[in-house]
Amino acid sequence: MRVGVFICHCGSNIAGTIDVAKVAAEMRKVPGVAFATNYMYTCSEPGQDEIKEAIKREKLNRIVVAACSPRMHELTFRRTIEKAGLNRYFLEMANIREHISWIGLDKEANTNKAIESVKMAVAKAMNNKPLYSQSFKVNKRVLVIGGGVAGMQAALDCADGGLEVILVEKSPSVGGMMARLDKTFPTIDCSICILGPKMVDVAQHDKIKLYAYSEVDDIKGYVGNYQIKIKKKATYVDWVKCTGCGACMEKCPAKNSYDHFNFGVAPTRAINIPFPQAIPKKAKIDPNYCRQFVKGKCGVCAKICPTGAINYEMQDEIITEDVGAIIVASGYGLVDMDKFPEYGAGRYPDVITGIQYERLLNASGPTEGHILRPSDKTEPKTVVFVSCAGSRDKSCGIPYCSNFCCMYIAKQAILTKDHIPDSQSYVFYMDIRSPGKGYDEFTRRAQEDYGAKYVRGRVSRIYPKGKKMVVVGADTLLGTQVEVEADLVVLATAVTAAPGAPQLAEKLHISYDTFGFYVEGHPKLRPVETNTAGVYLAGCAQGPKDIPASVGQGSAAASKVQALFSKDMLESDPAVAKVNENTCVGCLKCIMTCPFGAVKEKELRGGRIVANVIETVCAGCGVCTATCPCGAIQLSHFTDNQLLAEVNTICQK
Amino acid sequence: MDVINLTKSTDWNFIEEVSKESGQNPSLCYQCGNCTAGCPYTNYFDFPVSQIMRLLQSGQKDTILSSKAIWLCATCETCTTRCPCEIDVANVMDTLRIIARRENKVSEKDIKLFYDTFLASMKQHGRLFEVGTLMAYNLKSGHFFADAELGPKVMEKGKIHFFPNNIKGRDKVAKIFTRFQEKAKKHG
Amino acid sequence: MSEIAPKELRIVGFLCNWCSYGGADTAGVSRFRQPTDLRIIRVPCSGRVDPLFIVKALLNGADGVLVSGCHPRDCHYTDGNFYARRRLEMLKQLLPYLGIDEKRFHYTWISASEGQRWQKTVTDFTNQIHKLGPLHSTTEAHSGS
Amino acid sequence: MAEREYAYYSGCSLEGTAVEYDMSMKLVLEALDVNLKEPEDWSCCGSTPAHTVDHVLAAALAARNLSIIEKMGTDTVTVPCPSCLSAFKRAHLGMAGDASFKDQVNDLIDEPYNGGVISKSTLQIMYEDIGLEEVAKKVTHALPDLVVAPYYGCILTRPPEIAQFDDPENPVSMDKILEAVGVKVSSFVFKLECCGAAFGVPKRDMVNRLTAKVLSMALDSGANCIAVACPLCQQNLDLRQSQVNALMGTNYNIPILYFSQIVGLTYGLTPKELGIDKLIVSADDLIRSRITVEELAQNKAAAEAEEKARKAKQKEDKTKTEET
Ligand SMILES: Cc1cc2nc3c(=O)[nH]c(=O)nc-3n(C[C@H](O)[C@H](O)[C@H](O)COP(=O)(O)OP(=O)(O)OC[C@H]3O[C@@H](n4cnc5c(N)ncnc54)[C@H](O)[C@@H]3O)c2cc1C
Ligand SMILES: Cc1cc2nc3c(=O)[nH]c(=O)nc-3n(C[C@H](O)[C@H](O)[C@H](O)COP(=O)(O)OP(=O)(O)OC[C@H]3O[C@@H](n4cnc5c(N)ncnc54)[C@H](O)[C@@H]3O)c2cc1C
Ligand code: SF4
Ligand code: SF4
Ligand code: SF4
Ligand code: SF4
Ligand code: SF4
Ligand code: SF4
Ligand code: SF4
Ligand code: SF4
């Protein structure tokens, strides 16, 4: 065995708090180590060349790189040693950066810890066996979850590239939040005018199969071969028959149904088409409000519908689709008003949220684009915008910035002036966050050309006084308390993860952060990938972002899928479980525990029963290995021998 | 205000002292102004409470300890309840008063005097003797007739006792004070 | 930090690749200071951790063992961590029979984004092991039944 | 219903300027079958002034009382005054959360406090322990003229970590209790605004201006009196109302009642025993119309009958005119 050890400086990242030369020197004393050196930037091209040359020169057959996290560069170095003719699994990495040099300043302790960590890696590497991938066929269909602007962009880009797309949207129509917006910053173009055509393309593209009012129920499989169960929720209207004429909606007597699309700005009917541009434009019954469901009698819509589309007996339906990759674009939610007792917590009708205000501004909204305050339907002359309502607020459990509200507040202030020329807007803010192209100019314009008064300070309280809402805040630049007697108050409520985001992540086996946003592969270098092969992210599901960024990510995720699907065959990860048929006693405990159903019974010629792993199904978790009483089933690359070699290196009594 | 030379006048020990005694981390404050917005006394403060927090972040010990604001704060808890960074601001104000007292830098003599008179009454009688406290305060503060017009109204309602209600254990209460003073002396 | 004795003790950590190893990386990227006693072994899943590894480590020189995986329901392998929990819970109850204080073994769930939580876990566990002192210089390991 | 028992710490104000709070609270709780035990030889809680000297001293002054109560063998003390309550809770929570603080405090007092006493406001025991249903059961009288603005003052529910009761921004317990005894309550948005607290003496001007706002908002809410649960609030609003009028050129004449006095009135207790006569701004006019609930029901029935008759007649007239 001839092990080569390469200790990386990572500039001063590692060398600053670890004596790398000493680590290399110590390694030269370890039995089996034929060569050890330290190098400035091992992952750089010359750094990799150095490894390749050393392999040839020193006839090395196992390589240990002590550098950053294997989550960062394991693949890089596997490729390097493969180019030099070694099996890629002959590589081991010791993480001396994230786990040592960055978390302690004591150089002596760090150096000592690094020496031991590298020794562990050497011990494991000496036990590494060559592993060979198998190739398998890719199913070149893609599932997109979420039909907001990000998901639609991803779906269209994939479909335009010739891929078959399954688009699953939870609500009755695609469009997401953008479909609710009036105009969009920083150009103030009409949201639905630019989104509408995309929605129609989605509906008409022959490569896109749209399941609206549906959710992903179950996901099985692995990159290249997923089996998806989709639950089509009962709409109580046969969408094949429904023409979207709207006759039912006009006659439905349940007039006080909650309008999810308009965020409750005005009520809707129990049977409704969410908005005029909805795709698909079909009616749906809300059983929480429909009298047929609540009281057991009505049936008006069934009588009125010219096509006989109403079906009160409809049940949820499960559909199966097979795909090879998944793009998650499930968007975001908004924090509830009841988080703000000091602002009235939803008790005062004239304190509304930003998204509700978008609906008031919108020509196809409940007020037909007239800004009327909810309490008495009069035109407000003084409008106060409160930024960071819940955002950047630890006491609300939301320490992060919601990213786009500064910009939409400026937009809404401008639009308010456009709608009501003799109105005055006030904006309470802590910081104006407008770093995009043309963005800062936009927020300046709101102040310079549209006269919005920006007040630097938080709002402490809002209370009613007569017909006015008194907004009590601070002007920290003046160092005073300030009050505005407003007609309408708009809260820029914090962006949260989409409802149900964690549950969806669990189905997908991807990680989510404390707040429910999905975690990308690397915050800078893999922004639309996840750590689960074949699953990609786009839009606000990953974190709050505006439309341009969401669209950008939709396209990026689509191009990642295109790249994945550019090959017909994928290589499997050979780090899977293997059964030693000689030692297996056929107890079948492994079959019971394998979470993926990857182990099956096999009858040997003599009639003896043993376990057998289906390589393409095995995900490589090693649960079976820890279960087997005989050590007969071993997870390659993480065998008992390999892990115990590491344990023994540090625990030698 | 004069130019604040940040390299020279930042009193790091003071920041440390306040953090330790109040258990609050002043760096958490991002100067949103919510405390000032809600404080019922902002109009009367020489520095609004968010600026006290800012002065604290910059270690401006003298300015803070000689401010009126720390004495005009009524511990109404509005700031603490609403601070988005979960800072117990009222506690910081309380701590600043304690330090100002300790260092003999009290700007609002009347308020301190009132508190002292209150505590003296307590030490003497075990309970608060309202009339005695008021009279002692008026005498010492020189506001001889403060609230004098209210006297008859209260008297008429039979709410005033002209003699203190001395409790049996009043020496025990006094002992709490003496023990405290002894301890304080010991620790300098 | 002050409670940690200047001399290091031997602590072995088994971390699942997807969550906790990533959490430790996140702590590193955020430069969250931690004691240096811990030595990390990367495993694909906490379900891969054979209780035997832990026993071997503790009998052969480790003063403490920490296992950390993905949060329940967030396992990269669906429910590998449930198996882990069952096994490790059992192990915890068995340790005293080997004459080992069960406080020397701890398992927990930390996700890839929870750098701060990782820092706290490592610091707390290291402090705990220091409080218990070295396992092998004392007679603790052999005094049990 | 089983009789409830609490230690009852009235505090210094309730012996003097707030004696009517004490009188009415005791009677109401008695009516609700609550047995109150007064701790022997209690001393002042220390209140705000002690807090400006030192936190340990402040806690010790409060803890002396808690220690006495602990020895009485009662686990809960009920306290009418929010200022005393806050002093008790701070001492208790501070000592529970920090062993060294606890030692320092116990070093100052003769008998150590071991953390065995829970402090609750009298409002809290009525709202949570006794419950609205029980509170409502005892009602015998109605106060048809009263429209009350419930005023909680600043520290009864804040900060939430200390108060651990009701909502810190929109408390409702007093509203609910008053409604339960059949009194009309206005929607009052200045429930928590500070009244000037202990600054009445040294900073009178400031206090007067703050109370002026509270009084004006109460009137705006449609109320004709204010209910309080704090001796300081009461004093600043009632005793100093004339000062406010002099300073601001107003002529407020708003009775400031303790909530316990209002509850007592609905229980049929006499104004005299509830100490209503001790209020500076008289509430006599407002409560003169007090009647029994039976009378109220009769009046209502009569009014309804009259209304019905009137409507019937109207209809008759209408049909008549149509016929002609
Ligand atoms: C008041 C307001 C004003 C704004 N103004 C602007 C502006 O002017 N300019 C701008 O650039 N940005 C603006 N934004 C931001 C903009 O809304 C977002 O950038 C954009 O909507 C993000 O798109 P998305 O596709 O990521 O998410 P979404 O729009 O939230 O779409 C997500 C979609 O996924 C669906 N979904 C969720 N969960 C599931 C699931 N489990 N299964 C299936 N489907 C699911 C949802 O129903 C939804 O249709 C504004 C936001 C607000 C709140
Ligand atoms: C001081 C500083 C600190 C920063 N810190 C961070 C940070 O911590 N985190 C972070 O995310 N971002 C940081 N950034 C921003 C980061 O540098 C940019 O986001 C990033 O470099 C952009 O990459 P790019 O490829 O678009 O452009 P560039 O890095 O500018 O690359 C453009 C390349 O194109 C070449 N080129 C130019 N014109 C031509 C031509 N006509 N023909 C051929 N080649 C051409 C240039 O030589 C250059 O190599 C920082 C920036 C600065 C200035
Ligand atoms: S290999 Fe890793 S540690 Fe080394 S230079 Fe590259 S990034 Fe830095
Ligand atoms: S359900 Fe019938 S009536 Fe309603 S929109 Fe569809 S076709 Fe028209
Ligand atoms: S059956 Fe339901 S949905 Fe149809 S009209 Fe009646 S209430 Fe409306
Ligand atoms: S974008 Fe602006 S308003 Fe929104 S959370 Fe960030 S700073 Fe606050
Ligand atoms: S658990 Fe082990 S012995 Fe039992 S069947 Fe599986 S591989 Fe064979
Ligand atoms: S490693 Fe074992 S338990 Fe895990 S998927 Fe493969 S066969 Fe199943
Ligand atoms: S409310 Fe809190 S964060 Fe805001 S200025 Fe005051 S102390 Fe600072
Ligand atoms: S506690 Fe003091 S500083 Fe805070 S709001 Fe009340 S009076 Fe102002």
pLDDT digits (tens, 9 = 90+) for A408-449: 999 999 999 999 999 999 999 999 999 999 999 999 999 999
Q: For residue C143, what pLDDT is reported?
A: 40
Q: For residue D49, what pLDDT is reported?
A: 84
Among C77, C116, C123, C136, the strongest candidate for a mutation testing the A interface, having the largest count of A CBs within 10 A, is: C77
Q: Which residue segment(s) compose the domain that A537 sits in?
A: 141-233+316-331+498-564
A547 falls within a domain: yes
**Using CA atoms, how far apart are residues C63 and C57, in angstroms rounded to an integer?**
8
Residue C113 with chain A: CB contacts under 8 Å: 511-514, 519
Q: Which residue segment(s) compose the domain that B70 sits in?
A: 8-102
CA atoms A41, A43, A47, A53: torsion sign: positive
Mean pLDDT of all residues in A85-97: 96
Helices (H), chain D: 19-31, 47-51, 55-72, 82-97, 99-108, 122-124, 132-137, 160-163, 173-180, 204-220, 231-234, 241-248, 259-266, 284-287, 293-323
Higher-pLDDT residue of B171 and A550 is A550
**Residues with beta carbon inside 6 Å of ligand 4?**
A 237, 242-248, 283, 304-305, 307, 309-310
* Cβ-based neighbours of A565, under 8 Å, separated by 6 or more: A138, A140, A142, A163, A324, A325
Question: A595 CA to middle of ligand 8, Å?
Answer: 7
Q: Whose CA is nearest to atom 8 of ligand 6?
A: A388
Lowest-pLDDT range of A167-181, A390-404, B117-131, D256-270: B117-131
Mean pLDDT of all residues in A229-235: 97
Between chains, do A465 and D220 touch, taking CB under 8 Å as contact? Answer: yes
Are residue A393 and residue A531 in the same domain, yes or no?
no
- Transcribe D62-95 into DSSP letters: HHHHHHHHHHHT-SEEEES-HHHHHHHHHHHHHH
- Quote ipTM for the complex: 0.85
Please answer whether residues A215 and A167 qualify as being in contact, where contact means their C-beta atoms are separated by less than 8 angstroms: no
CA-closest candidate to residue D213, choices D230, D197, D193, D199: D193
Instruction: Quote the number of domains for chain B.
Output: 2
CB-neighbour burial class of residue D42 (10 A; exposed 0-12, middle 13-18, buried 19+): buried
Mean pLDDT of all residues in D19-23: 94
Between chains, do A341 and D189 touch, taking CB under 8 Å as contact? Answer: no
B3 falls within a domain: no
pLDDT at A519 over 70: yes
End-to-end, the C-alpha distance of chain C in Å comes to 35
Of the residues B18, B49, B85, which should be mutated to test ligand 9's pocket, given the most ligand atoms within 8 Å of the CB? B85
CATH architecture assigned to D138-294: 3-Layer(aba) Sandwich (3.40)
Residue type at D227 in one-letter notation: A
B10 to chain D, closest Cα gap in Å? 25
pLDDT at D50 over 70: yes
A244 falls within a domain: no
Q: Determine the distance from the C-alpha atom of residue A289 to the mean position of all C-alpha atoms in its chain, rounded to a whole number.
A: 33
Model pLDDT for residues C11-63, shown as the tens digit of each residue: 999 999 988 999 999 999 999 999 999 999 999 999 999 999 999 999 998 99
Mean pLDDT of all residues in A257-281: 95
B29 lines ligand 9 (CB under 6 A): yes
Between chains, do D220 and A341 touch, taking CB under 8 Å as contact? Answer: no
Q: For residue C1, what pLDDT is reported?
A: 38
Q: In the predicted model, what is the mean pLDDT of chain A? A: 95
Helices and strands, counts by H and E, chain C: 5, 4
| Percent of chain D surpassing pLDDT 90 | 77
A412 falls within a domain: yes
> Which subunits sit against C, judged by 3+ Cβ pairs under 8 A?
A
Chain A interface includes D213 (CB < 8 A): no
Which residue is associated with the tokens 């390999």? A642
Q: Determine the distance from the C-alpha atom of residue A358 to the mean position of all C-alpha atoms in its chain, rounded to a whole number.
A: 25
Residue type at D200 in one-letter notation: G
Model pLDDT for residues A157-204, shown as the tens digit of each residue: 999 999 999 999 999 999 999 999 999 999 999 999 999 999 999 999
CATH number at residue A622: 3.30.70.20
Query: Which ligand is nearest the CA of A525, by number?
Result: 2
Mean pLDDT of all residues in A46-50: 95
Among C45, C89, C117, the strongest candidate for a mutation testing the A interface, having the largest count of A CBs within 10 A, is: C45
Cα-trace Rg, chain B:
20
CA-closest candidate to residue A165, choices A141, A196, A139, A138: A141
| Percent of chain A surpassing pLDDT 70 | 100
Strands (E), chain C: 11-16, 38-43, 64-69, 105-109
Boundary-marking domain end, from A514, A540, A564: A564
Question: Please, what is the angle between helix A354-361 and helix A405-419, to 10°?
Answer: 30
- Transcribe A255-311 into DSSP letters: TTB--TTTTTSS-B-SEE-SSTT-SS---EE-TTT-HHHHTS---HHHHH-TT--B-
**Using CA atoms, how far apart are residues A105 and A96, in angstroms rounded to an integer?**
13
- Transcribe A14-63 into DSSP letters: HHTTS-HHHHHHHHHTSTTEEEEEEES-TTSHHHHHHHHHHHHHHT--EE
Cα-trace Rg, chain A:
30
* Cβ-based neighbours of A369, under 8 Å, separated by 6 or more: A182, A361, A362, A363, A419
Q: Residue C145 — pLDDT band, cuts 50, 70, 90?
A: very low
Q: Kindly state the tokens that stand for A427.
A: 């904006």
pLDDT at C4 over 80: no
Which residue is associated with the tokens 């908005």? A275
**Using CA atoms, how far apart are residues A573 and A616, in angstroms rounded to an integer?**
9
Strands (E), A366-520: 382-389, 424-429, 453-456, 459-465, 468-475, 480-486, 488-493, 495-497
Q: Residue C2 — pLDDT band, cuts 50, 70, 90?
A: very low
Burial annotation B36-68 (CB, 10 A radius, 16+ → b, else e): bbbbbbbebbebbbbbbbbbbebbbbebbbebb
Please answer whether residues C21 and C49 qualify as being in contact, where contact means their C-beta atoms are separated by less than 8 angstroms: no
Q: Kindly state the tokens that stand for D179.
A: 């409604």
- The domain spans of chain D are 4-124, 138-294
pLDDT at D319 over 80: no
Boundary-marking domain end, from B48, B73, B102: B102
Instruction: Give the HSE-up count for residue C74: Cα atoms under 13 Å, Cβ half-sphere.
Output: 25
Are residue A51 and residue A93 in the same domain, yes or no?
yes
CATH number at residue A94: 3.40.50
Q: Residue A653 — pLDDT band, cuts 50, 70, 90?
A: low
**Using CA atoms, how far apart are residues B172 and A275, in angstroms rounded to an integer?**
76
Q: Kindly state the tokens that stand for D209.
A: 């201006």
Are residue A477 and residue A540 in the same domain, yes or no?
no
Q: Kindly state the tokens that stand for A353.
A: 């949220």
Between chains, do B34 and A394 touch, taking CB under 8 Å as contact? Answer: no
B174 falls within a domain: yes
Q: For residue D324, what pLDDT is reported?
A: 54
Chain B interface includes A476 (CB < 8 A): yes
Of the residues A144, A404, A415, which should be mutated to test ligand 1's pocket, given the most ligand atoms within 8 Å of the CB? A404
**Using CA atoms, how far apart are residues A558 and A154, in angstroms rounded to an integer?**
5
**Using CA atoms, how far apart are residues D294 and D142, in angstroms rounded to an integer?**
9
CA atoms A76, A80, A85, A91: torsion sign: negative
Cα-trace Rg, chain C:
15
Cα D225 to Cα A43, A478, D146: the distances in Å are 78, 38, 7
Mean pLDDT of all residues in C81-93: 87
Residue A97 with chain C: CB contacts under 8 Å: 28
Are residue A56 and residue A156 in the same domain, yes or no?
no
Mean pLDDT of all residues in A486-504: 97
- Using a threshold of 3 CB pairs under 8 A, tell whether chains B and D touch: yes
Burial annotation A499-509 (CB, 10 A radius, 16+ → b, else e): eebbebbbbbb
Residues of chain B with pLDDT under 50: none
pLDDT at C3 over 60: no
Task: Return the CATH number of D4-124, one of 3.30.1360.70, 1.20.1050.140, 1.10.3720.10, 3.40.50.1220.
Answer: 1.20.1050.140
Please answer whether residues D77 and D38 qualify as being in contact, where contact means their C-beta atoms are separated by less than 8 angstroms: no
D98 to chain B, closest Cα gap in Å? 12
Which residue is associated with the tokens 């930024």? A387
Helices (H), A509-630: 547-564, 589-593, 623-627
Are residue A450 and residue A479 in the same domain, yes or no?
yes
Q: Residue D48 — pLDDT band, cuts 50, 70, 90?
A: confident
Q: For residue C5, what pLDDT is reported?
A: 43
Q: For residue D73, what pLDDT is reported?
A: 87
Strand pairing category for D225-228 and D256-258: parallel
Are residue B97 and residue B114 in the same domain, yes or no?
no
B2 falls within a domain: no
Are residue B49 and residue B131 in the same domain, yes or no?
no
pLDDT at A356 over 50: yes
Q: For residue A436, what pLDDT is reported?
A: 94
Helices (H), A483-622: 501-508, 547-564, 589-593
Please answer whether residues A429 and A456 qualify as being in contact, where contact means their C-beta atoms are separated by less than 8 angstroms: yes
Helices and strands, counts by H and E, chain A: 18, 32
Q: For residue A214, what pLDDT is reported?
A: 98
Q: For residue C139, what pLDDT is reported?
A: 45
CATH number at residue A551: 3.50.50.60
Lowest-pLDDT range of A603-617, B12-26, B154-168, D176-190: B154-168
A262 falls within a domain: no
Mean pLDDT of all residues in D58-64: 93
Mean pLDDT of all residues in A472-495: 97
pLDDT at A22 over 70: yes
Boundary-marking domain end, from A564, A598, A617: A564
Please answer whether residues D91 and D83 qualify as being in contact, where contact means their C-beta atoms are separated by less than 8 angstroms: no
**Using CA atoms, how far apart are residues B42 and B34, in angstroms rounded to an integer?**
11
CATH code for the part of the protein at C11-140: 3.40.50
End-to-end, the C-alpha distance of chain B in Å comes to 33
Q: What value, to the nearest 5°, has the Cα angle with vertex D151 and ends D146 and D153?
A: 160
CA-closest candidate to residue A407, choices A457, A443, A431: A443
Instruction: Quote the number of domains for chain A.
Output: 4
pLDDT at C6 over 70: no
D82 to chain B, closest Cα gap in Å? 11
Boundary-marking domain end, from B44, B74, B102: B102
Residue B30 with chain A: CB contacts under 8 Å: 392, 430
Are residue B45 and residue B96 in the same domain, yes or no?
yes
Q: Count CB atoms within 10 A of the CB of residue A264.
A: 17
**Using CA atoms, how far apart are residues B59 and B70, in angstroms rounded to an integer?**
15
- Transcribe A534-559 into DSSP letters: TEEE-GGGSS---HHHHHHHHHHHHH
A201 falls within a domain: yes
Tell me phi and psi for residue D209, to 5 degrees.
Answer: -65, -40
> Which subunits sit against A, judged by 3+ Cβ pairs under 8 A?
B, C, D
Please answer whether residues A407 and A442 qualify as being in contact, where contact means their C-beta atoms are separated by less than 8 angstroms: yes
Chain D interface includes A463 (CB < 8 A): yes
Q: Residue C79 — pLDDT band, cuts 50, 70, 90?
A: confident
Are residue A444 and residue A535 in the same domain, yes or no?
no
